[in-house]
Copies of this chain bind each other. A is one copy, B any other.
Amino acid sequence: MDEPLLVERRPLPIDGRLGQQLAFLIEVDRLKTVLRASTLAAVDRRENDAEHSWHLALMVPVLAEYADEPIDVGHTIRLVVVHDLVEIYAGDTPIYDDKLRTDQAERELAAADKLFGLLPADQAREFRALWDEFEERRTPEARFAKAIDRLEPNLLNWMAGGGTWLTPGVTADVVRSRTEHIGQASSALGEAMRALITGAERNGWVAAGQQGDPGPA
């Protein structure tokens, strides 16, 4: 987090407001190096946050019809494009890693201050507000964005025949609990998620039943 900015390696011959914006846009290239716990469906390697964010940005318009409350699709796409940026400095926090989850909020707040602070002040406020909106889940768009964020790695787990569902200590009921957000934003997608878990349980891709503590959703 105290590393110099990428742009300092090759200062741009452009200054002022545009130079500041381009420096931010170069710095965010780091999101392509933040690895997630999920593996891709297409090849056997881990997904990174930039790939994941792009995938969500396409899932949102394809699945928007299933939102239980009306949503502004364009705004929801912006939320998912921005939602993981803080992980550039805070790192990814896997959903089944309860240890990392304890100080996640603190790490991400410090990262947001640093990253969005690279932008001109008006845009720093604008992009920070998008990230806050996603995190707080108080708007229909933020709730749907979060549902899609939860659904995507579960599709990858299905395609992997287990993936992070096979994390030690995780059972079908833990997965049910951690994916409840989906049904809160979309009853149809919530139902699809439950069908995936039931199928995975039947196929042995997740430990059955109620062993372990479902923990916080």
Q: Please give the residue numbers on chain A whose beta carbons come within 8 Å of chain B beta carbons, in ascending order.
A: 6-7, 9-10, 12-14, 18, 21-22, 24-26, 28-33, 40-43, 47-48, 50-51, 53-55, 57-59, 61-63, 66, 72-75, 77-78, 81-82, 119, 123, 127, 155-156, 158-159, 161, 188-189, 192, 195-196, 198-199
Give chain B residues whose Cβ lies under 8 Å from the Cβ of A42: 6, 29-30, 32-33
Give chain B residues whose Cβ lies under 8 Å from the Cβ of A155: 22, 25-26
Give chain B residues whose Cβ lies under 8 Å from the Cβ of A81: 54, 57-58, 61, 77
The answer to whether A40 touches B29 (Cβ under 8 A) is yes
- Contacts A54-B53, A61-B78: A13 and B196 contacting too (C-beta < 8 A)? yes
Copies in the complex: 2
Chain B, Cβ-Cβ closest to A74: B74
Closest chain B CB from A178 CB (angstroms): 19
> Contacting A26 at CB < 8 Å: which of B32, B47, B159?
B159
User: With A and B bound together, what is the CA distance between A195 and B15 in angstroms?
Assistant: 11
Q: Name which of A14, A58, A82, A161 has the most chain B CB atoms within 10 A of its CB.
A: A58
User: With A and B bound together, what is the CA distance between A75 and B123 in angstroms?
Assistant: 19
Chain B, Cβ-Cβ closest to A160: B10
